Structure 1
Amino acid sequence: MATLGRGDMPAEDEEKDSEILDSYLQERSPAFNALRAVQKAVWQSPAADEHFLKQRERADSATPTLKKYFFRTMRAIGDQLQAAKHIIPPPGETKGFKVLDICMAPGGYSATALRYNKHSSIYGLSLPEEEGGHEMLLQNWQKDPRFDVRLMDITMLSTEFGSPDLLPADNPLASQFSSCRPFDGLEADLVFCDGQVLRTHERAVGSKFEASRLTSAQLILALQRIKKGGTMVMLLHRVNNPRNVKLLHAFSQFAEIDLFKPTPSHAARNSFYLVAKNVDPTSLGARQMLENSKSCWKTKTLQAFNDEPYEAEQNTSGDEMRSILQSSFGQRLISLAEPIWDIQREALEKKFLRGSPKLATTS
Structure 2
Amino acid sequence: MPAKDTAAKADKNRIPDGRGPAKSVMKATLKTELQILSEIGRISNSSASLTEKLQQTVEAVARGMGKEGASVFLLDRSGATVTLAAAIGLNQETIGKLSFPLGMGIAGWVAEQKVPLALEDPFSDPRFQYVPETGIERFKSLSAAPIMDESRCLGVIFVLSATPWNASASDITLLTTTANQISGVIQNARLLDDLQGRLSELGTIYDIGMALTSTLDFEELLALIAKNATQALQAKGCAIRLLNLPVTRASGFAASYSLIDDTVKEVDATIGEAIARKTAEDKKPLLIRDLSLDTSFENTAALTPTSIISVPLIFHNKVNGIITLYNKESGQPFYEDDLQFLSTIASGAAVALENAAMYERMEELATDTRTRAEKLSILYDIGNAMSTTLDLDKLLRIILTAATMGSGLA
Greater Cα radius of gyration, structure 1 or 2 = 2
TM-score when scaled to structure 2? 0.21
Q: Which structure dedicates a bigger proportion of its chain to helix?
A: 2
TM-score when scaled to structure 1? 0.22
Work out which structure has the larger RCO, using CA pairs closer than 8 Å and 6 or more positions apart in sequence: 1
